[in-house]
């Protein structure tokens, strides 16, 4: 293979752990085991004819890093292989990924249906900014297919879901949503940040596009901000690609390299954090100070059945309500010594936060309540610490209430 060949591990014959470690990598002339960082803004041409051919698209190769870069391409190939997609586009942030899609696929007069408990800034940009350009949004409980069906309109172009939703962990039926979207001539976009492709691959269930905040599980070390879009169909990717590089929200090579490093441990991290979360969720559910636990393994039988049909595990995000409401939640979060009070999720460290005042503060109070985001809701992103230490920290924190 020369340095521009795809990895022999890109195909689906290999397991997800193997793909995370090997897929998409290109061999360079030195035989480096690790992918190289092509930290360059521009690429030299052998001749003016070659430069002209690359700009015309008649010869493959690199021109300028905003348009494409080998390190970024390795990341795109790797995540596409994990999600079972045809191709992917890496972005400078998760919000850059969402806005790239909106810019490429929506026009004035179009309509979007999304989860009511959608990530706060994604909902905010639709309500406050895309609405200024004539794009209409309906924010509904996508866990109820009848509600989704009622929200669809002749001008609906996108159905955008999170499953599990952030932060309520409601489960949407990906296959059911895909059928409804396609019946109305719309595309299904699934945000798979909470599960990662280790636990869930929405394209296998009919999604047209998958998005991730790379910041979270894919990178896994809380030191990179990034996003990625994965496409079922190469033609759809080709439609979005010019918007991706012309809007300028593309990824940096060093960001991409750090994520490639993080991906090598993706399966181990996800499964370790999930095992920890299962024990913490059980402990929280049995504690007298806890009023409610929201976690796929503890969901209603109907919600559990949907999740188990489309996912390979409950994941490592837990939301819960304390009997003392917001005051009790604040006291708990400030009493923990090992778990860190911070937003974000998916890192090796356990993070805890208060959605109503932090990640979803931009929503109006009545919108938050309608979406199930109460003032007393606490979101816990369980990490990879020793479970005995996590249990002890949570128990001593709850004892302060």
Report the catalytic residues: 66, 119, 191, 216
22/12 Cα distance (integer angstroms):
12
Question: Which token pair is 319?
Answer: 């939301």
Angle at 79 between CA 73 and CA 80, to 5 degrees: 85
Whose structure tokens read 């993706």? 266
For residue 164, say if its preceding peptide bond is cis, omega within 30 degrees of 0: yes
Question: Which token pair is 235?
Answer: 């033609």
Are the CB atoms for 385 and 352 separated by under 8 Å? no
Whose structure tokens read 């559990």? 304
88/201 Cα distance (integer angstroms):
14
- DSSP track, 100-163: HHHHHH--TT-EEEEETT--HHHHHHHHHTGGGGT-EEEEE-TTSHHHHHHH--TTEEEEEEES
Are the CB atoms for 18 and 24 separated by under 8 Å? no
Q: How far is residue 85 CA from its own chain's centroid?
A: 15
Instruction: Give the chain's length.
Output: 401
Are the CB atoms for 54 and 194 separated by under 8 Å? no
For residue 317, say if its preceding peptide bond is cis, omega within 30 degrees of 0: no
The set of long-range contacts for 300-308, using a CB threshold of 8 Å and a minimum separation of 24, is 303/143, 303/170, 303/171, 304/171, 306/171, 306/172, 306/173, 307/163, 307/164, 307/171
Question: Which token pair is 24?
Answer: 């998409």
């Amino acid at each position: 293979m020369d340095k521009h060949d795809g990895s022999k591990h890109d195909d689906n014959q290999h397991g997800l752990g193997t793909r995370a470690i090997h897929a998409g990598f290109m061999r360079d002339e030195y035989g480096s085991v690790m992918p190289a960082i092509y930290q360059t803004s521009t690429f030299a041409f052998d001749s003016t004819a070659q430069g002209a051919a690359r700009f015309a698209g008649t010869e493959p190769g690199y021109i300028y890093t905003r348009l494409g870069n080998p390190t970024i391409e390795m990341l795109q190939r790797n995540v596409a292989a994990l999600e079972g997609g045809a191709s992917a586009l890496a972005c400078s942030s998760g919000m850059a990924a969402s806005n790239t899609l909106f810019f490429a696929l929506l026009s004035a007069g179009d309509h979007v249906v999304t989860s009511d408990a959608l990530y706060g800034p994604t909902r905010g940009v639709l309500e406050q900014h895309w609405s200024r350009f004539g794009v209409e949004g309906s924010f509904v409980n996508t866990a109820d297919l009848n509600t989704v069906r009622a929200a669809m309109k002749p001008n609906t172009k996108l159905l955008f879901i999170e499953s599990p939703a952030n932060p309520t962990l409601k489960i949407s039926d990906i296959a059911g949503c895909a059928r409804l979207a396609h019946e109305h001539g719309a595309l299904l976009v699934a945000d798979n940040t909470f599960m990662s492709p280790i636990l869930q691959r929405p394209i296998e269930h009919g999604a047209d596009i998958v998005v991730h905040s790379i910041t979270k599980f894919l990178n896994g070390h809380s030191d990179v901000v990034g996003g990625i879009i994965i496409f079922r169909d190469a033609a759809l990717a080709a439609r979005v690609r010019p918007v991706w590089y012309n809007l300028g929200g593309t990824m940096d090579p060093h960001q991409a390299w750090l994520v490639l490093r993080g991906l090598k441990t993706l399966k181990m991290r996800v499964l370790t954090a999930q095992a920890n979360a299962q024990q913490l969720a059980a402990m929280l559910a049995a504690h007298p100070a806890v009023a409610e636990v929201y976690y796929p393994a503890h969901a209603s039988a109907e919600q559990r059945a949907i999740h188990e049909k489309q996912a390979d595990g409950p994941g490592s995000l837990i939301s819960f309500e304390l009997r003392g409401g917001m005051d009790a939640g604040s006291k708990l979060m400030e009493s923990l010594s090992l778990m860190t009070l911070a937003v974000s999720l998916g890192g090796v460290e356990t993070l805890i936060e208060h959605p109503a005042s932090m990640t979803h503060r931009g929503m109006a109070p009545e919108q938050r309540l309608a979406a199930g985001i109460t003032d007393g809701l606490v979101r816990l992103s369980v990490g990879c610490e020793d479970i005995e230490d996590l249990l002890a920290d949570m128990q001593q924190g709850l004892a302060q209430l």
